[in-house]
């Protein structure tokens, strides 16, 4: 690169924010470390071409070709340049790309880049071709249009990630995700500069990877839904071509029902195990005192580890805190006593020590949920924190490299605001030493799949994952929530070019609920103000839904951050701070819409029994909206004051769930009236 890393760091210190053209906001997401816009425009036409110069991996040819095709998709231009090859290094090309070396897919590899857009030329320079991949995404995001056509605004971007580990975990064990689902999500991950795909392949409900050494694992533990080894190689290459590392997870020693369904002799208790169809924490666990377990895993990993080139493999290691099957096994208890193993946590540490030797044999490093942390587990293991930052900091202070997922559990349906403002280090870790902070590698969002299907998973990941990706990439001071929402909505639509269904599949579900009718406007109005129940309350104790339950109801069409509810909340808060007729008129439009919407919902419920669980919730929305309308139009009358005094029961009723969803406008309407 033109600018050394030291100079980049110095520049960031003395220039903590960005310079924009006057009055202009950026649409970029993640926001780059540093950027400066200038007067001038680079005009696009069909003669636009790129040139690759320097040393790089072959993946840059494919990435450059995809860049051009996406540029054509955005603009409708018929570019003359086709698929990029070694001959595409012409000095006449107006996009000049200079690379110093081929990047390695490894932790802490350089992903920095520079972009300079001039009136007649665009320059991209990077130390590695991985930096060029990240630069392509920024270039595609800055394209604009005016009456004359498409253009890139002139300016400079100097960018590098804040964290080295920026991941998304997708659980394919509970609900299997076909290869096309994985690929489109990898494309979207690359678009927001994520670089780790955590592939959760095994759990109680499924063993999702082919084993030729122990075929009963996938034959008995997958219901026929698994990835062949050829497909695994395809996914790993697809990810690598986009600069994404694949870290597989083989959850051990607990979460083992699918393992023991095939090979019960490896378990800690002689039980007949049926396929697990429910969510939750279960007792079946491998026997860490059985030498056959280690021989089995040695042979299995000799087969499977080579499919994943990355240095890191995730062992899981979580949720065996009860350890009932260990406690109830007399032989295991004798082993613990003979070997002075104090408790189940120490026994799991013994298991992990044995596993570390197997990992080392195959040149792999272990990642595990924080339950693996123990004085007997060396600090070469990566601690993956899901309990909270306290354990994250504790691990870093003890010398372990760490990654954070607490606060990024996107399956829990919390607001994107909570994820966006959850920083892996700040503010709690501000007083840590620089060395301790350096051990916090970054973070991962987790998409556990108990309540998602291939049809709905995109809507649970996107667009919220965009905001989390910005938290992992951009400087810590980038935290304007309202601007985040503005930019996220723009990029959310752009991600549809990869085939993501996060926007369109809501209407597919609603049309099905409407009995195949195309008239779903009333359902869309309702869906815009409801959200699925939070955390694990939608599926209490994991017993309401099984892995075979339909995920085609209103709770599956609804998503976090209900758009109309959010807008109404902001509108009503602004009105309360500074009452004005314009905001009041807009508020009353919403209220009238919600009041009148129920009549159509009631008619739909007569034709669709699946919708009837939503009828009372829709009626409650209509009632509180009608109440608010009446008071807002007659706020000086005795009638309005009387209604207010007797409305508490109505609002209490409106807060009750319906169809495993909850109204998100109840508080805003009540606060408005109070």
Catalytic residues: 319
The SS3 of residue 89 is coil
Runs of H (alpha helix) within 450-527: 457-461, 464-473, 481-494, 504-513, 521-527
Both structure tokens of 329: 């096994």
Residue 529 DSSP symbol: T
The SS3 of residue 621 is helix
Q: What are phi and psi of 420, to 5 degrees?
A: -65, -35
Both structure tokens of 47: 């003669």
User: What's the rounded Cα separation, in Å, for the pair 504 and 486?
Assistant: 20
112, 124, 158: which is closest to 14 by C-alpha?
158
First-last CA distance in the chain: 60
User: What's the rounded Cα separation, in Å, for the pair 519 and 338?
Assistant: 71
User: What's the rounded Cα separation, in Å, for the pair 61 and 72?
Assistant: 17
Residue 149 DSSP symbol: E
User: What's the rounded Cα separation, in Å, for the pair 295 and 394?
Assistant: 34
Contact indicator for 555, 533 with CB cutoff of 8 Å = yes
Query: How many beta carbons lie within 10 A of that of residue 357, not counting itself?
Result: 10
Query: How many beta carbons lie within 10 A of that of residue 359, not counting itself?
Result: 21
Which runs of E-coded beta strand occur in 1-137? 34-43, 50-54, 95-101, 113-117, 122-128
- In angstroms, the Cα distances linking 217 to 278, 281, 303, 358, 456 are 19, 20, 13, 20, 27
C-alpha atoms less than 13 angstroms from C-alpha of 537 in its C-beta half-sphere: 14
Contact indicator for 83, 133 with CB cutoff of 8 Å = no
User: What's the rounded Cα separation, in Å, for the pair 372 and 58?
Assistant: 39
What are the residues whose beta carbons fall under 8 Å from the beta carbon of 408, sequence distance 6 or more?
A: 419, 422, 443, 444, 445, 446, 468
User: What's the rounded Cα separation, in Å, for the pair 185 and 239?
Assistant: 10
Long-range CB contacts for residues 226-233, cutoff 8 Å, separation at least 24: 226/176, 227/172, 227/179, 227/201, 229/307, 231/179, 232/307, 232/308, 233/307
């Amino acid at each position: 690169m033109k600018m050394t890393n030291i100079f980049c760091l110095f520049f960031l210190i003395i220039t903590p924010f960005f310079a924009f053209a006057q009055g202009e906001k950026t649409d970029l997401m993640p926001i780059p470390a540093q950027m400066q816009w200038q007067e001038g425009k680079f005009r696009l036409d069909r003669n636009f071409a790129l040139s690759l110069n320097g040393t790089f991996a072959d993946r840059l040819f494919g990435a450059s070709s995809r860049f051009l095709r996406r540029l054509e998709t955005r603009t409708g231009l018929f570019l003359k340049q086709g698929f990029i090859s070694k001959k595409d290094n012409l000095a006449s090309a107006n996009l000049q790309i200079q690379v110093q070396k081929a990047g390695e897919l490894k932790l802490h590899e350089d992903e920095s880049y520079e972009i300079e857009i001039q009136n007649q030329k665009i320059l991209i320079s990077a130390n590695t071709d991985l930096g060029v991949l990240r630069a392509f995404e920024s270039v595609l995001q800055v394209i604009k249009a005016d009456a004359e056509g498409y253009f890139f605004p002139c300016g400079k971007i100097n960018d590098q990630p804040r964290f080295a580990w920026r991941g998304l975990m997708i659980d394919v064990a509970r609900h299997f995700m076909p290869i096309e689902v994985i690929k489109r999500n990898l494309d979207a991950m690359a678009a927001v500069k994520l670089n780790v795909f955590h592939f959760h392949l095994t759990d109680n409900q499924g063993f999702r990877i082919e084993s030729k050494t122990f075929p009963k694992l996938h034959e008995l533990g997958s219901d026929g839904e698994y990835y062949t080894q050829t497909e695994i190689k395809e996914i790993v290459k697809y990810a690598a071509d986009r600069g994404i590392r694949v870290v597989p997870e083989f959850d051990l020693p607990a979460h083992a029902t699918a393992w023991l369904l095939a090979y019960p002799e490896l378990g800690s208790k002689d039980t007949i195990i049926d396929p697990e169809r429910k969510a939750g924490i279960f007792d079946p666990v491998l026997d860490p005192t059985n030498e056959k377990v280690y021989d089995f895993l040695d042979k299995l990993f000799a087969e499977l580890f080579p499919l994943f080139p990355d240095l890191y493999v995730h062992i899981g290691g979580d949720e065996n805190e009860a350890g009932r099957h260990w406690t109830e096994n007399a032989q295991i208890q004798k082993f613990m006593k003979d070997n002075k193993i104090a408790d189940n946590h120490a026994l799991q540490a013994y298991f992990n020590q044995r596993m570390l030797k197997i990992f080392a044999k195959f040149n792999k490093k272990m990642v595990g949920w924080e339950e693996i942390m123990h004085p007997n587990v060396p600090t070469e293991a990566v601690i993956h924190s899901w309990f909270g930052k306290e354990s994250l900091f504790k691990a870093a202070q003890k010398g372990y490299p760490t990654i954070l997922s607490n606060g990024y559990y996107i399956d829990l349906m919390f607001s994107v605001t909570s994820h966006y403002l959850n920083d892996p280090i700040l503010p709690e870790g501000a007083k840590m030493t620089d060395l301790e902070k350096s051990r916090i590698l970054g973070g991962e969002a987790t998409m556990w799949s108990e309540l998602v299907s291939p049809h709905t998973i995109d809507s649970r990941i996107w667009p919220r994952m965009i905001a989390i990706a910005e938290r992992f990439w951009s400087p810590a001071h980038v935290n304007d929530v309202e601007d985040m929402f503005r930019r996220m909505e723009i990029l959310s639509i752009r991600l549809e070019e990869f085939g993501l269904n996060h926007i369109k599949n809501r209407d597919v579900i609603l049309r099905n609920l409407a009995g195949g009718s195309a008239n779903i406007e009333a359902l869309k109005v309702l869906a815009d103000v409801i959200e699925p129940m939070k955390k694990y309350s939608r599926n209490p104790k994991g017993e309401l839904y099984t892995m075979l339950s339909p995920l085609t109801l209103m709770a599956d069409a609804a998503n976090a951050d209900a758009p109309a509810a959010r807008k109404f909340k902001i509108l009503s808060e602004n009105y309360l701070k500074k009452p004005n007729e314009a905001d009041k008129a807009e508020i009353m439009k919403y209220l009238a819409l919600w009041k009148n919407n129920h009549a159509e919902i009631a008619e739909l419920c007569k034709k669709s029994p699946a919708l009837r669980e939503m009828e009372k919730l829709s009626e409650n929305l209509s009632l509180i909206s009608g109440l608010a309308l009446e008071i807002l139009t007659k706020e000086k009358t005795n009638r309005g004051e009387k209604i207010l005094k007797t409305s508490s029961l109505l609002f209490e009723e409106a807060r009750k769930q319906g169809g495993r969803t909850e109204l998100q406008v109840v508080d805003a309407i009540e606060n408005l009236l109070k």
